[in-house]
Chains A and B, each alone.
Chain A
């Protein structure tokens, strides 16, 4: 019984100390003078975090848009309002699926890679030797990756939504024969820039921040063994996914819940 309580207390303390450490980690990485050659390092990371994630984002966006078009048509056609399909596809993507699905894919594709890379650098003493050369690995290794994640995620989410709309168009207009004039007109009328597009972008910024932070911190904090890295990678994907879904509910409630 007492064992159980002390175990419980210990994991509570562990959790709090992880939160504290990850906060200090974030501040130390981002505050102050950036590393020499920061811009070049950032470009390199933008490529591996952002550009290399493009393919999976585009393919997933296309399929999700096509499925939305198909399902939407089947429901709307019963009420004779299948021309509203453009509105439905666009709103679903811009408000919800764009940011959320992109963040989940991002955590799996880029987040896990970031964790494994940094964890392995730690395990092979590359971070230690960088410290002994007098270079702060937080500034040089961690900061460019963090910033690259913050920048990439909203852009990827936008691309996802655009490709998704195109997928909906392909299915709805080209395949199922909805009149393309009403497809676009309906969309234009109902999608509000501030209400929908901007809120979607805010969501994806928040998700990008959280996912990259989790990924980079888990790598940096991992035990320097192969098992430690594998645990850290799993944690990255699990924590990021849960954080994205939980935050999505909170943000949606604040943005669209008329609270």
Chain B
């Protein structure tokens, strides 16, 4: 475990529910500063929800979330917008502005938050687009991009202000091996050269283990393991080994909570 003074994000005793469903049950997660932390867990456990909680788009029901020492849930609307200027977030869907071209999408944060001259904006935008391999696609509109390209443009947009904290929601989904290798290098180099704290949500166990300094495994509303990749791999907890080795049977449920299949089938009728 790292010292708490070195944690960029400190989540303590946080509980969050969606209606009656408890998504997080009293979890405590620390995310070290200047490191790459991977959040892994089965689909639907609340990884995207966790990023939204950190970004202040959702508020926890109890417990606190400190980001750079600030309690995110207690900030006013205005303070929250200021705090977010230091965060970058790559959405699972990309979420580019559909009325702006690729170039203008990446330039958008610069235009609203800085008063840089146009030629400087151009240089920065082209540099970031180059880093994701899409400098040549700058005149295209978002509707003309493929899914993988959309996420890479979104990635360029989210790093254009050089944030202190970068959150990536599934950056590798839908990327070919070449783009994937490039993204891994990019995420790593942002981290080493700029000292950005990175939070990475991914299902790709191999890739995340190799890229990250620290791993948090969540399942079933709880943290089932955290530590360095090496420590986790050595750990003998059945939960952790099941997830990391991708075994279908074990304590981590593959299914969304439901009554068991046989009784569901035997119930008859047409009730859904």
Contact = CB atoms under 8 A, between A and B. Distances in A.
A78 B91 CA distance: 72
Given A124-B93, A125-B95, A126-B97, A132 B112 contact: no
Given A36-B112, A124-B98, A131 B84 contact: yes
A60 B84 CA distance: 48
A1 B12 CA distance: 46
14 contacts: A35-B112, A124-B95, A126-B97, A131-B81, A131-B84, A132-B55, A132-B84, A132-B87, A133-B85, A133-B109, A133-B157, A134-B83, A134-B84, A134-B85
A131 B55 CA distance: 9
Given A126-B97, A133-B85, 17 more contacts: A35-B112, A121-B98, A128-B57, A129-B91, A129-B95, A129-B97, A129-B154, A131-B55, A131-B57, A132-B87, A132-B88, A132-B158, A134-B83, A134-B85, A135-B81, A135-B112, A136-B81
Interface string A126-168: 1011111111100010000000000000000000000000000
B113 interface: yes
B57 A126 contact: no
A4 to B, nearest CB: 23
B89 interface: yes
Contacts of B77: 28, 136
B205 interface: no
Contacts of A124: 93, 95, 98
B111 A37 contact: yes
B91 A125 contact: yes
B82 interface: yes
Given A124-B93, A124-B98, A126-B98, A132 B111 contact: no
A236 to B, nearest CB: 20
Nearest to A32: B78
Interface residues of A, number: 18
B236 to A, nearest CB: 39
Contacts of B83: 134
A133 B108 contact: yes
Contacts, number: 61
B262 to A, nearest CB: 33
A247 B84 CA distance: 42
Contacts of B158: 132-133
Contacts of B113: 133-134
Contacts of A126: 95-98
A35 B109 CA distance: 13
Interface in B58-91: 77, 81-85, 87-89, 91
B213 to A, nearest CB: 24
A230 B112 CA distance: 32
Contacts of A37: 111-112
Closest 5 CB pairs of A and B: A125-B95, A129-B95, A134-B85, A134-B84, A132-B89
A133 B95 contact: no
Interface in B225-260: none
Nearest to B113: A134
A129 B88 CA distance: 9
A116 to B, nearest CB: 13
B93 A134 contact: no
Contacts of B89: 129, 132
